[in-house]
């Protein structure tokens, strides 16, 4: 493959990672002004409205296959759109953006564990070691480096919500491995978005039934457009190009820089403090994932 194509792949992976890192900043910034389920609903309605003019034709063409695999897309829409993102915005109310990004970066570990449980995939010694190291990193983060919290279970509530989000995303990622063949990417994405929006409605009704309010300001509109168009569409397109050009493994290596960008943005935009526990947690999580996912080069003959 030409160097220019590889360079484009790495740049696209980096662009997607940077855009996604901003999602945690928005989650934290809107925590006190927009209810979490409302934030999730506005994000995905925006994404659906933007993609619908392009995806409607693909949905019509793929309709027979979509109907035959409706159960799959319901599960994908609920896990990947409805629950995962809503949990992120709930977490943003009680924990820092840095913490959310670090816990989110542990998703590959949970993918390995769930793949073993649900798909029966073998867990090698290297993967097991990586999982153990990354779990230690997550533990350092949620306890803030104080392991005495384990005895009293005094974790930050937002950290636990974010951990649930990471597990949900891992479930969605495992589900993607069973994606039905013959359905276009645009048709699949549009269908998943639409089902995900419908899945948010019961939670939205509950939230507004308990007195939720929304003040529409330029800042709120800008944030919704960012997460609706940027984090939901542009990042996905960039990531698709990256995986096509350099493959999923190398793209994932770029994705592991997510905590770095989120921490920098959180410090500059939100005034959050980066502590030694954050640094240690990042090193353990990223190091563990690299141990679990990097393959040893074949020996020379």
User: Could you tell me the residue ranges of all domains in the chain?
Assistant: 3-293
Q: Band the pLDDT of 253: cuts 50, 70, 90.
A: low
pTM for the whole structure? 0.73
Q: Is the dihedral of CA 296, 299, 300, 301 positive or negative?
A: negative
Looking at the predicted structure, is the pLDDT value of residue 295 above 60? no
Q: Band the pLDDT of 294: cuts 50, 70, 90.
A: low
Q: Band the pLDDT of 284: cuts 50, 70, 90.
A: confident
Please list, in sequence order, all residues whose beta carbon lies within 8 angstroms of the beta carbon of residue 102, skipping any fewer than 6 positions away: 137, 138, 141, 259, 262, 278, 281, 282, 285
SS3 assignment, position 155: coil
CA angle 194, 200, 204 (to 5 degrees): 135
Looking at the predicted structure, is the pLDDT value of residue 64 above 60? yes
Q: Read off the pLDDT of residues 200-248 as tens digits, 9 standing for 90 and up.
A: 999 999 998 888 788 788 888 888 898 888 888 888 778 777 867 776 5
Six token digits for residue 213: 């309010």
Higher pLDDT, 143 or 60: 60
Task: Determine the average pLDDT of the residues in 160-184.
Answer: 82
pLDDT at 227: 87
Residue 24 CA, chain-centre distance (Å), reads 10
Alpha-carbon separation of residue 43 from 92, 268, 275 (angstroms): 15, 24, 31
Contact (CB, 8 A) for 56 and 297: no
Looking at the predicted structure, is the pLDDT value of residue 45 above 90? yes
Number of C-beta neighbours around residue 84 at 10 A:
23
Looking at the predicted structure, is the pLDDT value of residue 118 above 80? no
Instruction: Choose the most confident range, by mean pLDDT, from 201-205, 259-263, 279-283, 295-299.
Output: 201-205
Nearest to 295, CA basis, from 118, 106, 124: 124
């Amino acid at each position: 493959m030409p160097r220019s194509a590889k360079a484009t792949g790495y740049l696209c992976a980096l662009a997607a990672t940077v855009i996604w890192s901003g999602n945690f900043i928005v989650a934290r910034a809107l925590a006190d002004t927009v209810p979490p389920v409302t934030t999730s609903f506005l994000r995905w309605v925006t994404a659906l409205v933007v993609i619908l003019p392009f995806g409607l034709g693909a949905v019509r063409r793929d309709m027979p296959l979509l109907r035959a695999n409706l159960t799959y897309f319901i599960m994908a829409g609920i896990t990947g759109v409805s629950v995962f993102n809503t949990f992120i915005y709930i977490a943003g109310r009680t924990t820092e953006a840095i913490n959310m990004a670090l816990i989110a970066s542990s998703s590959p570990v949970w993918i390995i564990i769930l793949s073993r449980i649900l798909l029966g995939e073998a867990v090698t010694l290297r993967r097991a070691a990586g999982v153990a190291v990354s779990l230690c990193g997550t533990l350092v983060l949620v306890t803030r480096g104080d392991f005495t919290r384990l005895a009293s279970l005094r974790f930050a509530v937002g950290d636990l919500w974010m951990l649930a989000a990471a597990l949900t995303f891992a479930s969605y990622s495992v589900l993607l491995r069973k994606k039905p063949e013959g359905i276009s990417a645009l048709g699949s994405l549009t269908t998943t978005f639409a089902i995900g929006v419908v899945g948010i409605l019961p939670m939205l009704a509950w939230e507004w039934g308990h007195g939720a309010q929304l003040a529409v300001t330029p800042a709120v509109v800008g944030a919704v457009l960012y997460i609706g168009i940027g984090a939901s569409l542009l990042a996905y397109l960039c990531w698709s190009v990256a995986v096509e050009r350099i493959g999923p493994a190398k793209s994932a290596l770029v994705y592991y820089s997510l905590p770095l960008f989120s921490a920098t943005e959180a410090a500059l935009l939100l005034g959050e403090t980066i502590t030694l526990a954050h640094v240690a947690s990042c090193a353990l999580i990223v190091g563990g994932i690299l141990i679990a996912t990097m393959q040893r080069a074949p020996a020379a003959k």
